[in-house]
């Protein structure tokens, strides 16, 4: 069991300590290792509109799915995924991020429990084609709550919404 680190000295005490220890001489055969420079106290970031949603990691983990990443599916099954009608459909237009996240979570869990496999999640493209939900939904699908139920996802075919929607393929539910 390790001890918690000591809190840093106040700046005036740190300056006094450095002044006093500057005159020290090392024991024979040893050298003085200067103490680390004082660390400035962390500056609190300016409050901004922060979402409670996790940010996308800078380097995706190995289990992260990108659009079109459907591991274990051959070309024929991928083509069928784009042609078949979805088993369920969720439209997130006009929802806040929190409401959309809750709706997506509930929808995926319900469809998985019923043994449905092919879903359509409509996010919309947003202004300039870079909408908040369009970016957030892939993050949510890769979250630890939903990722185990997913086989993969990709942009939907043009007739079902194109880049404003996602075709989601769920794993087979072994319980049903």
List CB contacts of 60: < 8 A, sequence separation 6 or more.
66, 142
Which pLDDT tens digit goes with each residue over 81-95? 667 788 899 999 889
Using CA atoms, how far apart are residues 165 and 124, in angstroms rounded to an integer?
Answer: 6
Using CA atoms, how far apart are residues 43 and 174, in angstroms rounded to an integer?
Answer: 50
Q: Whose CA is closest to 135, among 107, 166, 162, 109?
A: 166
Q: What is the pTM of this model?
A: 0.58
All domains in the chain, ordered by first residue: 75-170 (3.30.1370.110)
Which pLDDT tens digit goes with each residue over 26-84? 777 777 666 666 565 566 665 554 444 444 444 444 455 555 555 556 677 677 666 77
Using CA atoms, how far apart are residues 9 and 176, in angstroms rounded to an integer?
Answer: 61
Say yes or no to pLDDT of 176 above 60.
no
């Amino acid at each position: 069991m390790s001890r918690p680190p000591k809190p840093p000295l106040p700046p005036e005490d740190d300056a006094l300590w450095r002044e006093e220890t500057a005159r020290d001489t090392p024991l024979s055969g040893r050298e003085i290792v200067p103490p680390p420079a004082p660390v400035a106290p962390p500056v609190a970031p300016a409050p901004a509109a922060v979402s409670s949603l996790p940010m996308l990691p800078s380097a995706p983990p190995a289990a992260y799915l990108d659009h079109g990443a459907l591991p274990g599916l051959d070309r024929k099954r991928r083509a069928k995924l784009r042609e078949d009608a979805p088993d369920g459909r969720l439209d997130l237009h006009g929802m806040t991020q929190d409401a959309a996240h809750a709706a997506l979570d509930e929808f995926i869990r319900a469809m998985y429990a019923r043994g449905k496999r092919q879903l359509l999640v409509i996010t919309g493209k947003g202004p300039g084609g870079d909408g908040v939900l369009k970016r957030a939904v892939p993050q949510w699908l890769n979250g630890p709550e939903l990722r185990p139920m997913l086989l993969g996802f990709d942009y939907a075919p043009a007739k079902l919404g194109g880049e404003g929607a996602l075709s989601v393929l769920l794993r087979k539910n072994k319980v049903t």
